[in-house]
Structure 1
């Protein structure tokens, strides 16, 4: 996948004219929520937030003690773990459905050689997750982002360089059978100037995703930034492929592959792999408050996909102002980078990703 993506990147960048942007959303943060110090969680790749704490998973791991679903309290201390009934291949993201069902996305495929990928489903009260196998219609893909729609439908977003594929199952998932995925569209996120360990490369791949608890927003992240979209009528795929993203800079996270909304939807949470921290012993769970997002009133149930927007959403004036600020911060395409530099950057990206993945 990396080689194919790298070969196509130069044409992609020159053809679609990716724009550089500067931060378009003011944030009050980040603030540290807590610190993960448990040595079983060294390659954190998936995160969800609950009223009582957090749930996390590692990506592919050779250590059986690390191949679990970890439940944490507000201090990032492990309160319980859930084991898989069989060995997962490469768990890269998580999602929480409106009914409380936890989904773990076993969708990583660094070498693009898996015939199927998987989703593990853990309903509330269940003692072990159930595996559902999925297959792409157009060959193997590496992916690290999972979005769960307000209706409970899982959406997979690939890690394809510059132009990620968006897929959903063609029908109901069934245990013991492989369900086909269908490609809905593609998504290309803006390139930004946000500082990150992978420089230009850090903004070209999607490493995580989440849907807000009220179903009105979705977020995709790279190694450099998060981008939030407004969701209308429960159409998450339409939002991320056709909507206008709002940038949330995530500067200098060591290797950020996780993102989640807080239960009240007023902030996003991120965490990096412990093994990529400077000291290699702990990882901070960070909170980025979303500007202009008031806390919602108490509710006993989540709105249906057809519900009309309530007071949780930003005001029309705030949304318009954020979009205007983002538009004003964009640089004209003619003032960006020459085609030759982009091609060189593409080649550098391929080498960087290959080197990074060679450690696994």
Structure 2
């Protein structure tokens, strides 16, 4: 999400919190398993100047695939393939202009899915998924419509049958939507609301305080399909999937929580190809000069390890247009992820101050915005 869209969205959430609107409850879900939070390991830095608004990432056998969100420059509106050192080795253009690409997913056959589902102003009549099949030169557009009006969304998951699952960026109780039938190239398919999920409250440090812990900004499906993860600006929430039923996992499961503390603007998450860790990367467009997007690796909670899938992972063919990678920076500090009555009380006491501050930030940020949110 762009700076203007982010400040507008946070201001709206602040107003809802003050008014006591539904979906902004601060109670943590009972029985949530909180994972330890060791510091992440830096993997590599993205030094290509076209990639500063990274909103989606997937890991591949040869490196990564990334997309920007709502980039005004044509050079940034592409699907970027990177090697293991975060150097761009190939890009793929869209046949028409996407509106707001916010997440990526990779199918069992290596197909790349681009989720063009961002809608900061909630004025889109359709959202879209772009599918880039292995070896294809251009992605194919598939349009989707919500049954209950526009939604802003930034997370895409894939079910066991390959069906896409869209999770909205609603504070408190995010909507879970699935297509009602097979996708049609160039056509529109209705979505159905399959349920909602409510993420537990944490106390993980992040640039947007309590609101950063409530907004779903990305998702990923494990290589073996037996787990999925959703992230906020503060944490990752991993759900176990039974028989490929991602909707049931999200709406009835209890997630394991992995803290992702103090990432500048964390909107991307992917499983490592071995399934034993998570990879994240942040937007850096509004960060201090010289700040580079850095891929970070977080170990997952203990549990049965999953072998890599047998299906081929998407890889980048020869023909580089990339730039050299740089040295990795120092790891971020870990944050405390303890949740309890005391933490919730502190959040409640501080919410008035936070709301006031966010409203001021929203007004100032909107005036200084250099890009137009879509």
What residue in structure 1 maps to residue 345 of structure 2? Answer: 336
- Higher alpha-carbon deviation: 187-196 or 56-65: 187-196
Unaligned runs of 5+ in 1: 303-325
Distance 2:359 2:193 in 1: 25
Distance 2:223 2:94 in 1: 26
2:171 match: secondary structure = coil
Match of 1:198 among 199, 202, 208: 208
> How far 1:342 sits from its partner (Å)?
4.4
Cα deviations by residue, 1:286-334 (Å, 9 ceiling, x for unpaired): 00011324654465359xxxxxxxxxxxxxxxxxxxxxxx9xx542489
Distance 1:355 1:109 in 2: 21
Match of 1:18 among 22, 27, 33: 27
Q: Which has the higher contact order (CA 8 A, sep 6+)?
A: 2
- Higher alpha-carbon deviation: 64-73 or 175-184: 175-184
Q: Are 2:53 and 1:31 equivalent residues in the alignment? A: no
What residue in structure 1 maps to residue 324 of structure 2? Answer: none
What residue in structure 2 maps to residue 147 of structure 1? Answer: 157
After superposition, where does 1:104-183 map in structure 2 within 5 Å? 104-183=114-193
Cα deviations by residue, 1:84-125 (Å, 9 ceiling, x for unpaired): 000001000000111111100000111110000010001111
8 Å CA contact retained: 2:16, 2:24: no
What residue in structure 1 maps to residue 104 of structure 2? Answer: 94
Backbone CA RMSD of aligned residues? 2.8
2:160 match: secondary structure = coil
Match of 1:66 among 68, 76, 92: 76
8 Å CA contact retained: 1:219, 1:228: yes
Cα deviations by residue, 1:53-105 (Å, 9 ceiling, x for unpaired): 00000000111000000000000001111000000010000001111111000
> How far 1:45 sits from its partner (Å)?
0.3
Distance 1:140 1:126 in 2: 31
What residue in structure 2 maps to residue 48 of structure 1? Answer: 58
TM score, norm. by length of structure 2? 0.81
> How far 1:341 sits from its partner (Å)?
5.3
1:274 match: secondary structure = coil
- Higher alpha-carbon deviation: 227-236 or 278-287: 278-287
- CA spacing shift, 1:335–1:67, aligned 2, 3 Å: closer
Distance 1:224 1:15 in 2: 17
What residue in structure 2 maps to residue 188 of structure 1? Answer: 198
8 Å CA contact retained: 1:98, 1:150: no
- Higher alpha-carbon deviation: 39-48 or 172-181: 172-181
What residue in structure 1 maps to residue 235 of structure 2? Answer: 225
After superposition, where does 1:215-294 map in structure 2 within 5 Å? 215-293=225-303
Distance 1:336 1:53 in 2: 43
8 Å CA contact retained: 2:33, 2:255: no
8 Å CA contact retained: 2:223, 2:309: no
TM score, norm. by length of structure 1? 0.84
Distance 2:201 2:210 in 1: 8
8 Å CA contact retained: 1:211, 1:218: yes
- CA spacing shift, 1:73–1:352, aligned 2, 3 Å: same
1:151 match: secondary structure = coil
Distance 1:44 1:256 in 2: 9
2:285 match: secondary structure = helix
What residue in structure 2 maps to residue 211 of structure 1? Answer: 221
> How far 1:199 sits from its partner (Å)?
1.3
Cα deviations by residue, 1:178-226 (Å, 9 ceiling, x for unpaired): 1101111111212211111111221121100011011111111010111
Distance 2:264 2:28 in 1: 24
Distance 2:230 2:364 in 1: 24
Distance 1:73 1:17 in 2: 41
Distance 1:15 1:141 in 2: 17
